[in-house]
């Protein structure tokens, strides 16, 4: 069986390792941390999730650490300013979402390499401040802490760094020590911005236990424009469909640039490299088909949201390009058409009203005359069904879930009517 790091190197998921001896550590537990800064992880976190999954497939038990304690502080790594501190209640709510996200991707029933989720607040809450300084803090040297890239960058910035954030690396280091003691964990993985925190744990284990531990990092994934992966129009793309709809999630990957898509197939899917090579050849022969983007979007949506989520995303995509809306729910359609013009109209003004009147009131057409011409020319649609009768009225079955009507003029000019 190939070592996980060799696989990660082949797929563009390797950045650095503390020692090449990590390749000798077959079958030992591996962990990665996820702080509950939000109620859902983002697709940027999926790099680390994929890393854990590759280690598990290579025979390593894996541990996903949900940072109930570290989430109360906020990791300064890769951040230009201090996070807003979360309340204990906010952290607990976010922890529930993070644990749900992680539970979808790791195999907790494996007989040879099981996964588990732990919460570092379970052991950190046992410390008093004085005990932590005496038992852990005394083994850290200020010079080494100040020399960490994540610290140095912030110290040189206008925002600076609070003592609270400065202490973060001590807690993450102790997490590694705790898992080394109690779970036999020998390897910690994370993004390249975690290098300083990871090596702090490696050093602490050596000082306190005389033991050997290892760290490995992934590159920070950016697209060809240099934008950090997982952002779209300034907004994060979440793994929770209540934060990012199935449709928007699917479309995020469909919109991947040609220059990025093959690299992303290697990083974010388990497709064999030979298969990805075949997709790359087909893409080169006919880039207009956007085959690679469709495969990436389908693989990612199926992996994260399951076959049901993928089905909704595909149906929603068809709807936007004129497909049938049969079986679609109002909530899904509102997300699909979130960026088209919309108008609220009272139920009394819509029910049994003439379609020409509704089209005018909703703003799809400037006048009834324009709406009439649109119908007679064959370009007027209600819920993607062409209307040919200028005297047609709004019927109950046209109001999806009793509250949404989708009007369309021509091929792409949509208007969403919210019936209130």
Domain extents for the chain?
Answer: 4-218, 245-320, 340-419
Q: What is the pLDDT of residue 14?
A: 96
Eight-state DSSP code of residue 70: G
Separation between Cα atoms, residue 242 and residue 40, nearest integer Å: 9
Q: What is the pLDDT of residue 161?
A: 86
Q: What is the pLDDT of residue 80?
A: 55
Separation between Cα atoms, residue 131 and residue 361, nearest integer Å: 69
Read off the pLDDT band of 338 (50, 70, 90).
confident
Separation between Cα atoms, residue 383 and residue 133, nearest integer Å: 65
Q: What is the pLDDT of residue 48?
A: 95
- Domain 245-320 fold: Tyrosyl-Transfer RNA Synthetase (1.10.240)
Q: Is 343 exposed, middle or buried (0-12, 13-18, 19+ CB in 10 A)?
A: middle
pLDDT above 90 covers a percentage of the chain that reads 59
Q: What is the pLDDT of residue 74?
A: 76
Separation between Cα atoms, residue 301 and residue 250, nearest integer Å: 6
Taking residues 241-268, report their average pLDDT: 93
- Domain 340-419 fold: 3.10.290
Eight-state DSSP code of residue 186: -
Nearest to 295 by CA among 282, 308, 309: 282
CATH superfamily to which 4-218 belongs? HUPs (3.40.50.620)
Nearest to 336 by CA among 396, 253, 250: 250
């Amino acid at each position: 069986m190939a070592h996980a790091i060799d696989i990660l190197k082949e797929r563009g998921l390797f950045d650095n390792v503390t020692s090449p001896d990590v390749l000798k550590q077959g079958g030992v537990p591996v962990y990665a941390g996820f702080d509950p800064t939000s109620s859902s992880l983002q697709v940027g976190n999926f790099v680390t999730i994929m890393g854990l999954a590759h280690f598990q497939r290579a025979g390593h038990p894996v541990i996903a650490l949900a940072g109930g304690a570290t989430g109360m502080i906020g990791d300064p790594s890769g951040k230009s300013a201090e996070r807003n501190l979360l309340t204990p209640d906010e952290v607990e709510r976010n922890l529930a979402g993070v644990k749900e996200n992680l539970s979808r991707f790791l195999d907790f029933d494996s007989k040879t390499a099981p996964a588990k989720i732990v919460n570092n607040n379970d052991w950190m809450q046992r410390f008093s401040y004085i005990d932590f300084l005496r038992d852990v803090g005394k083994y850290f040297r200020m010079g080494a802490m100040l020399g960490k890239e994540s610290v140095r960058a912030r110290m040189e910035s206008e925002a600076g760094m609070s003592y609270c954030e400065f202490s973060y690396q001590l807690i993450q280091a102790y997490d590694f020590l705790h898992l080394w003691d109690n779970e036999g964990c020998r390897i910690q993985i994370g993004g390249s911005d975690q290098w300083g925190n990871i090596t702090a744990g490696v050093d602490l284990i050596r000082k306190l236990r005389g033991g050997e531990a290892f760290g490995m990092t992934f590159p920070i994934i950016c697209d060809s424009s240099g934008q950090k992966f997982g952002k779209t129009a300034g907004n994060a793309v979440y793994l929770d469909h209540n934060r990012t709809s199935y449709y928007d999630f699917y479309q995020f990957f469909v919109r991947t640039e040609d220059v990025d898509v093959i690299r992303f197939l290697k990083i974010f899917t388990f497709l064999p490299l030979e298969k990805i090579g075949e997709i790359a050849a087909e893409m080169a022969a006919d880039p207009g088909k956007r085959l690679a983007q469709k495969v990436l979007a389908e693989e990612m949506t199926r992996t994260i949201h399951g076959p049901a989520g993928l089905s909704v995303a595909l149906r929603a995509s068809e709807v936007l390009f004129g497909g049938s809306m049969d079986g679609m729910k109002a909530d899904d359609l509102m997300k699909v058409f979130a960026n088209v013009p919309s108008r609220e109209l009272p139920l009394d003004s819509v029910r049994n009203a003439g379609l020409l009147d509704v089209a005018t009131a909703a703003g799809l057409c400037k006048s009834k005359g324009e709406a009439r011409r649109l119908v007679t020319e064959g370009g007027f649609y209600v819920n993607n069904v062409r209307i040919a009768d200028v005297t047609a009225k709004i019927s109950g079955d046209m109001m999806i879930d009793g509250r949404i009507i989708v009007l369309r003029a021509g091929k792409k000019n949509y208007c969403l009517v919210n019936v209130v």
